[in-house]
Amino acid sequence: MTGKTAKGSVRIGCHSGFWGDTETAAVQLVRHGNVDYLVSDYLAEVTMSIMAAQKLRNPQAGYAVDFVTAVMGPLAREIAEKKIKVVTNAGGVNPQACRDAVLKACEAAGVKLKVAVVLGDNILPRAEEFRAAGIREMDTGAELPAKIVSMNAYLGGFPIARALAEGADVVITGRCVDSAVTLGALIHAFGWTPEDLDPLAAGTLCGHIIECGAQCNGGNFTDWRLVPDYDNMGFPIAEVSGDGSFVLSKPEGTGGLITPATVAEQMLYEIGDPRAYIVPDVVCDFTEARYEQTGKDRVRVSGARGRPPTDSYKVSTTFPDGYKFSSIFMLGGREAAAKGRHSAESIVKKTRRMFKDKGMADFRDVSIEVIGAEATYGPHSRAQDSREVVVKIAAKHDQKEALSLLGREIAPMSTGGVVGMTGSFGAGRASASPVIRMFSCLVPKSLVPVTVDVGGHQIALQEGARSGGFSAVTLPVEAPPASSSSSGATETVPLIALAYGRSGDKGDNANIGIFARKPEYQPILDSEVTEEAVAKYFAHRIEGKVSRWRLPGINGFNFLLRQALGGGGMASLKADPLAKAFAQMLLDMPVRVPAEVAKKLAA
């Protein structure tokens, strides 16, 4: 097919980066984006467990209702009139119920659209089979948990492409890799085959860039003051060519900023090893990807390369692991940080004594963070003399009642504790919630049958055939850090003077990517921002090792900080369980530069 741009290209707009994204995005792209495809990503690991719990309570629940009420309901007629194809993973753990709701919304709008679903990702009913087969956690080797809430394989783009080839106007999936909603559309549009590894990698990069919505258009950008009109943020449109290269843009008259830096930052988001970003259809190498400004708010992206895929699907499993509680209170006056910490420690100490009296076990974990005193910065904090802080107490326990007791003991400190407590938020009312932990494993593709249902007609796909036996041992060896480039006088500057940065989470691991503001800064980053330097800077937060990889295409580096998030996601008690601010912390790290460079930076 050809798109609404130049012959041989298609326009894809992404309106949702997570379950709860703004309802204004779909309207913006449908009415002003001139798109061929409208795609969206609603799912995260924790989202699957929430949806699974919803489905247990109501067999017709378990999908992203927002997709129906905020997208298809209001826009079905315009989508049909403009012949826009829609691809989404809003199906969650119940794609069929999502399809039924979409069909009702279309009927109410007076339009007929062919709606397809991709099935097969939910392998929870076969958990015991996989347990017997010896499936283990992919990093730790742990056995499958005894009680599992959800178990879903990350599917790829080819089932989506097949649904579109069968004439579907709307394709709804369960769990797939986030970029697959875009890649599937591109496979269909350009007729790519499993052997087209470079285009598949390029299409995956396109999907990865736009999957978080406005995050590639200036959202979360390091130089945030350069970004205009956050209140009217433009959502991304990728104009994609047959080789997978694309130009990123946004609807005219919207806010945001598209530059090589804003787009490259998003490329670094949660990718792990950039030489081997693994999705079901291809193993991507983003190290030589290039970003070129071609006009105002227009950036061309090219240079991704592909390797044959793996023989396995990554499977995300969630399981319950006790309960957690979190509450905050404000404290003001002189020595606010010290008083706040002392107050929280006193509450925990008292509660522990009450546990002992009642025959209850101790907390499994406790976290006290003084927000406003830069608690997340640890020894790098500069705000110990703050006169106004918010104190966060969080804890885990096997008994929900024990955490309720902790909650009830916070408010009494306002009269029987350290001076300056101005009020609590949630104490006495906030309740404990289940801790949902993630367990990631690999399952052979041949054991996960995938089906496409188009209007009641089911098509079985042989996804197991799309295997390539990729092995990480085939990857090139990373060169050691460069030696210092300066033999003369040096000064220290914060890393932000030299680099951009973006961070996110991978389970319990933090991912931080940085790249040089100017090519001549790359040797400084190479020698100064090493694995050892980053591990030392984050020693107060991490328990595992740090790995670094180069990205020559952007003069950058990507870091993976293992065991950095207190379990990650909903299992964490930390104030930043998703590592959203880790890059901001790293960009404050002092680095040595030649004196002449420091002088230019200060000018």
Question: Mind listing the pLDDT tens digit for each residue in 506-519?
Answer: 889 999 999 999 99
Neighbours of 198 (CB within 10 A): 18
Q: What pLDDT is stored for residue 429 in this prediction?
A: 58
Rounded to 5 degrees, what angle do the CA atoms 163, 168, 171 make?
65
Note whether 60 and 279 are within 8 A (CB): no
Q: Specify the CATH number for 317-436; select among 3.90.25, 3.30.70, 1.20.120, 1.10.3470.
A: 3.30.70
**Cα separation values, 425 from 354, 370, 407, 572, Å:** 22, 15, 10, 20
Rounded to 5 degrees, what angle do the CA atoms 264, 308, 177 make?
55
**Rounded distance between C-alpha atoms, residue 375 and residue 390, angstroms:** 11
Neighbours of 360 (CB within 10 A): 17
Q: What is the mean pLDDT of residues 324-329?
A: 93
For residue 529, name the pLDDT band (cuts at 50, 70, 90).
very high
Q: What pLDDT is stored for residue 49 in this prediction?
A: 78
For residue 571, name the pLDDT band (cuts at 50, 70, 90).
confident
Left (φ > 0), alpha (ψ -120 to 50) or beta: where does 229 sit?
left
Q: What is the mean pLDDT of residues 218-234?
A: 97
Note whether 66 and 20 are within 8 A (CB): yes
**Amino acid identity of 468?**
G
Does the pLDDT of residue 3 top 60, yes or no?
no
287: closest CA among 528, 560, 475? 475
**Cα separation values, 267 from 274, 478, 492, Å:** 9, 20, 28
- Quote the distance between the C-alpha of residue 222 and its chain's center: 17
Across 178-250, where does the E strand assignment appear? 237-240, 246-249
Q: What pLDDT is stored for residue 245 in this prediction?
A: 98
Neighbours of 361 (CB within 10 A): 11
Q: What is the mean pLDDT of residues 575-588?
A: 94
Q: What pLDDT is stored for residue 466 in this prediction?
A: 62
For residue 4, name the pLDDT band (cuts at 50, 70, 90).
very low
Note whether 511 and 475 are within 8 A (CB): no
Q: What pLDDT is stored for residue 430 in this prediction?
A: 67
Q: What pLDDT is stored for residue 163 in this prediction?
A: 98
Does the pLDDT of residue 424 top 80, yes or no?
no
Question: Using CB atoms within 10 A of its CB, is residue 242 exposed (0-12), middle (13-18) or buried (19+)?
Answer: middle
582: closest CA among 602, 598, 566? 566
Length of the chain, in residues: 603
Q: What pLDDT is stored for residue 428 in this prediction?
A: 45
Q: What pLDDT is stored for residue 504 in this prediction?
A: 94
Note whether 399 and 353 are within 8 A (CB): no
Instruction: Give domain limits for the chain.
Output: 10-120+155-269+277-309, 317-436, 490-602
Backbone dihedral angles phi then psi of residue 77, each to the nearest 5 degrees: -65, -45
Averaged confidence pLDDT in the chain: 93
**Rounded distance between C-alpha atoms, residue 45 and residue 443, angstroms:** 17
For residue 47, name the pLDDT band (cuts at 50, 70, 90).
confident
Q: Which residue has the higher pLDDT, 1 or 388?
A: 388
Q: What are 153-173's pLDDT values in tens digits?
A: 999 999 999 999 999 999 999
**Residue 371, C-beta contacts closer than 8 angstroms, at least 6 positions apart:** 328, 389, 390, 391, 392, 575
Rounded to 5 degrees, what angle do the CA atoms 113, 118, 123 make?
150
For residue 5, name the pLDDT band (cuts at 50, 70, 90).
very low
Q: What pLDDT is stored for residue 345 in this prediction?
A: 97
For residue 2, name the pLDDT band (cuts at 50, 70, 90).
very low
Q: What are 350-382's pLDDT values in tens digits?
A: 999 999 999 999 999 999 999 999 989 989 998
SS3 369: strand
Q: What is the mean pLDDT of residues 482-490?
A: 79
Does the pLDDT of residue 23 top 60, yes or no?
yes
Percent of the chain with pLDDT over 90: 82
Where do runs of H (alpha helix) occur along 238-283? Answer: 260-267
**Residue 261, C-beta contacts closer than 8 angstroms, at least 6 positions apart:** 221, 222, 223, 500, 517
Does the pLDDT of residue 505 top 60, yes or no?
yes
Q: What is the mean pLDDT of residues 253-278?
A: 97
Does the pLDDT of residue 425 top 70, yes or no?
no
For residue 127, name the pLDDT band (cuts at 50, 70, 90).
very high
Left (φ > 0), alpha (ψ -120 to 50) or beta: where does 218 sit?
left
**Amino acid identity of 448?**
V
**Amino acid identity of 359?**
G
For residue 463, name the pLDDT band (cuts at 50, 70, 90).
low
Q: What is the mean pLDDT of residues 11-31?
A: 96
* pTM over cut 0.85: yes
Q: What pLDDT is stored for residue 486 in this prediction?
A: 64
